[in-house]
Amino acid sequence: MQSFRTELENPVVEKDIIDLEKKIRAFREGKIHDEKFRSLRLARGVYGQRQPGVQMVRIKLPFGKVTFKQLLRIADISDEYASHNLHLTTRQDIQIHYVSLDRTPQLWADLEKDDITLREACGNTVRNVTASPAAGIDPKEPFDVSPYAHATFEYFLRNPICQDMARKFKISFSSSDEDTAYSFIHDIGLIPKLNSKGERGFKVMLGGGLGAQPILANIVEEFLPEDQLIPYIESVIRVFDRYGERNNRNKARFKYLIQKIGLDEVLRLTQIERIANKVKTYKINRDTIAQPVLPKETNYIDVEISNPFRYEQWLATNVFEQKQQGFYGVYIKVETGDIPSDKARKLVDLLTPLTADEIRITQNQGLLLKYVRKEALPALYNGLAELDMAAPGFDSVADVTTCPGTDTCNLGISNSMTFARVLEDLIYKEYEDLIYNRDIKIKISGCMNSCGQHSMAHIGFHGSSLKAGAKVLPSMQVMLGGGTVGDGIGRAGDRVIKIPAKRATHVLRAVLDDYKTNSIEDEVFHNYYDRQGKDYFYQMLKPLADLTTLTDEDFVDWGHAETYEQAIGVGECAGVVIDLVATLLYESDEKLGWANESYTAGAWADAIYHSYNVFVSTAKALLLDKGVNSSTQAGIIREFDAQYVSTNEFKLDGSFSDLVLQINQNEPSESFATAYKAAASAFLEDVKAKREEVLQS
């Protein structure tokens, strides 16, 4: 590996990056098991690509906020380490591709110079906290949720309770009842509310998620006071960490835990965990998000609009008046979410005198500019048009959301990026009037896992395959009727029919033509779909699924010239199960080290939770010697009692459950941290001795 340099002021971050470099070196030397190393790098934003030997690096941008300086830094990083492209995601991150694993520590160090992190952008952690991009300038918002999203990001970053969960955990903040951050598809979704006294709080949605089996969130709190936001989220995550499925990753999301034990039981366990929380109340610093640097007021020169008709369309679809009088928000539609690095630099040059120094990445892979004066709009439009970034129809039928699909993702089954471009081109050429329609959303994923959010689209597609005799052809599963209703209510689309991928354009034409012909005046798509019914659309589209009429073209995927071959790799959306006893005991030693560090720093709650993880991973290691592989932490605790304590094979004063679960019966005080850590350390040493006996026998 090349020499590694870091000049960071934050010692915590510097330690993180140096640790990644050491882990990579140990992996190269064969000292860390491949599956364990995978979970380590994922938690640091490093994700394996479809192409062997290179990585996708996900850059974590809380609630999608990025400054001009940060965007320039990311562009420079992409040029030096990656493929000269910035890919905007549906979770308001930026991804860069084709990065060498050995260069990721230096890449991270270079990013951190402008306060940009990779930490916990992937893996079984709290993922990027998202929020409505218009938060702070939304005329409909009761208050700005940005400081709350930032506080949540900051509190759970490197927090021991969410470093090695069963699966990823997603949190969103919508700015208003329009729910533009999609609370209903998140593990925790939050919508701002004011009570009768004018006090701030949140409506809370729990247990939503997409993937192969979409489940919509439950409304659990109509008004959670703002000071209870962080404690509530912490308690929920503690429950998920302890009781979440860990063996079958297909059932390991929080939504499945609720499905398994029931919402009432999850809420009961959440209440029990509150005693162990680091904080019982948490005051949010409302001023933590600094006001962006505004463009200077000046006498803007008159400019000749390059395309007056398009300009009027752009004003109608991409521009809105902020709640701050005299300023406008401007959306930029970014095709497939891709911005070449050289274009990103030109964009910053254009924006610097015209907009505030703050860009928000949107959930449909676009950008939002803030604080644009009305007089600056013509110059802004002309500049964007020169960059080919002034397309009208933001968030309309013509603004198709897509994941990378088979371009770079291991799990991609069929192409989504080229297909998205084809659909957008079709809309502009054949249905231009629909660029004003924000009621209908089209979303595409390259597989069933819904990174492109296809199951919450009015018209959704996900990549699949079909067999025609001995041959396989790329296909699209068509889903209809999903989308946002508002105030925490949403809909998951129905799986209507699967058709060859190259016929998907005919699907879109058929649905849009029928909607234009048969919808009632001013009827929204949801009402139209419900009135017609799923079978109506199945019968309409059934001829397109006829495999007796296949042509050679049907066997070639979008964006390809060669015949389709299905090739699916191993997905890395979450870590894998690690059943190696030695690795688990190694982890226990590492976690005990973290407990000691936290204890020395006076972080009692953190020391306690690290000690709890020592108990669990150590017990799991010994259980594996008996072939017992429990799927939850609660199960590990229960099985250790059954297999070792009740049989007197392992001596404890009382049960293992009583020992470990002191964690949710005590306040996180210094005295309890001292005793609990000491007990965890003693347990680890006793298990090591027991393990040695087994090996020697």
DSSP assignment string, 600-665 = HTT-HHHHHHHHHHHHHHHHHHHHHTTT---SSHHHHHHHHIIIIITTTSS--SS-HHHHHGGGGT
The number of residues in the chain equals 697
With beta carbons less than 8 A apart as the criterion, state whether 638 and 657 touch: yes
pLDDT at 448: 86
Position 1 scores a pLDDT of 46
DSSP summary character for residue 564: P
pLDDT of residue 110: 92
* Interatomic CA distance for residues 637 and 641, integer angstroms: 7
**Reported CATH class of domain 308-386:** alpha beta
The amino acid present at 102, given as its one-letter code, is: D
Say if CB 337 and CB 402 are below 8 A apart. yes
Q: What is the pLDDT of residue 296?
A: 83
Q: Report pLDDT digits (tens) over 270-295.
A: 999 999 999 999 999 999 998 888 88
Question: Strand pairing partners for 65?
Answer: 360
C-alpha angle 10-13-18 in degrees, rounded to nearest 5: 120
The CATH superfamily holding the domain 410-555 is Sulfite Reductase Hemoprotein, domain 1 (3.30.413.10)
Contact 423, 383 (CB under 8 A): no
Residue with tokens 């912490």: 234
The architecture (CATH level 2) of 130-276 comes to 2-Layer Sandwich (3.30)
**What is the per-residue pLDDT for 577?**
36
Torsion of Cα atoms, 648 then 649 then 654 then 659, to 10°: -170
Query: Which pLDDT score is estimated for 443?
Result: 97
Q: Are strands 442-445 and 401-402 parallel, antiparallel or unpaired?
A: parallel
Question: Domain 11-112 belongs to what topology?
Answer: Sulfite Reductase Hemoprotein; domain 2 (3.90.480)
Is 3.40.1130.10 the CATH classification of the domain at 581-696? no
Q: Which helix (H) or strand (E) holds 521?
A: none
Which residues are registered as beta bridge partners of 401?
443
With H, G, I as helix, E, B as strand and everything else as coil, classify residue 367. strand
Query: In this structure, are strands 200-206 and 218-225 parallel, antiparallel, or unpaired?
Result: antiparallel
List beta partners, residue 464: 475
Going across the sheet that includes 188-194, the strands are: 130-131, 171-173, 188-194, 200-206, 218-225
**Tokens found for residue 86:** 């910035």
Per-residue pLDDT, 413: 85
The secondary element (H helix, E strand) that includes residue 445 is strand 442-445
Confirm whether 130-276 and 410-555 share one CATH topology: yes
Distance CA 64, CA 364 (A): 12
The whole-number pLDDT of residue 48 equals 83
Q: Are 612 and 225 in contact, with CB atoms under 8 Å apart?
A: no
> Regarding beta strands 459-468 and 442-445, do their DSSP bridges make them parallel or antiparallel, or are they unpaired?
parallel
Who's near 654: CB < 8 A, 6+ residues apart? none
In one-letter notation, the amino acid at residue 342 is D
Do 142 and 176 contact (CB within 8 A), yes or no? yes
Regions in the chain scoring below 50 on pLDDT:
1-2, 570, 574-579
pLDDT of residue 571: 52
412 and 406 in contact (C-beta within 8 Å)?
yes
CA atoms within 13 A on the CB side of 333: 25
SS3 state at 39: helix
| The residue type at 461 | F
Helix ranges (DSSP H) in 440-580: 504-518, 525-532, 534-541
Long-range interactions of 26-31: CB distance < 8 A, separation 24+: 28/1, 28/102
Write phi, then psi, for 643 (nearest 5 degrees): -85, -30
Q: Which amino acid is at 250?
A: N
Provide the pLDDT for residue 7.
Answer: 63
**Which ranges of 182-326 does DSSP label H, i.e. alpha helix?**
229-243, 254-261, 263-273, 308-318
Q: In whole angstroms, what is the distance from residue 613 CA to residue 620 CA? A: 10
Domain boundaries, given as residue ranges, for the chain? 11-112, 130-276, 308-386, 410-555, 581-696
Give the strand order in the sheet containing 494-500.
401-402, 442-445, 459-468, 471-480, 494-500
